[in-house]
């Protein structure tokens, strides 16, 4: 099943985000013990389109619990970067990444 993860940064956390961004990206590419695959992702931006203000991911996992565990180990979550984090089941409708 697919899930969309939408997280918003706490205000004034640009330095924190920048300092752990590469570690976060490595976690997304290699989830270790977690059976979660990141299918699509990237930062959300401020209105100017210049500053990162959050994260949006599309992940594939067996359950929402698996997604929660994967996120709990994410460097951004461990560092307390996010003011809010939402996980929703999602049905991929257009642009399917591979034939099913």
* pTM to 2 decimal places: 0.91
> What strands lie across the sheet with 36-45, from one edge to the other?
36-45, 52-61, 2-9, 82-90
pLDDT in tens, the chain (100 residues): 999 999 999 999 999 999 999 999 999 999 899 999 999 999 999 999 999 999 999 999 999 999 999 999 999 999 999 999 999 999 988 886 664 4
What is the Cα–Cα distance from 81 to 21, expressed in whole angstroms? 11
Both tokens of 26, joined, read 């490595």
What is the Cα–Cα distance from 89 to 16, expressed in whole angstroms? 29
With tokens 């560092």, the residue in question is: 79
Nearest CA to 83 out of 24, 38, 16, 20 is that of 16
- Report the Cα 19 to chain-centroid distance in Å: 17
Q: What phi and psi values does residue 95 have, to the nearest 5 degrees?
A: 75, 35
């Amino acid at each position: 099943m697919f899930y969309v993860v939408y997280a918003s940064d706490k205000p004034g956390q640009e330095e924190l985000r920048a300092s752990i961004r590469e570690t976060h990206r490595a976690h997304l590419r290699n989830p270790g013990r977690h059976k979660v695959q990141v299918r699509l992702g990237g930062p959300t931006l401020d209105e100017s389109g210049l500053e990162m203000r959050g994260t949006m991911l599309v992940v594939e996992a067996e359950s929402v619990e698996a997604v929660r565990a994967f996120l709990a180990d994410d460097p951004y979550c461990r560092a307390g970067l996010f003011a809010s984090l939402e996980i929703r089941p999602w049905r991929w409708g257009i642009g399917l990444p591979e034939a099913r």
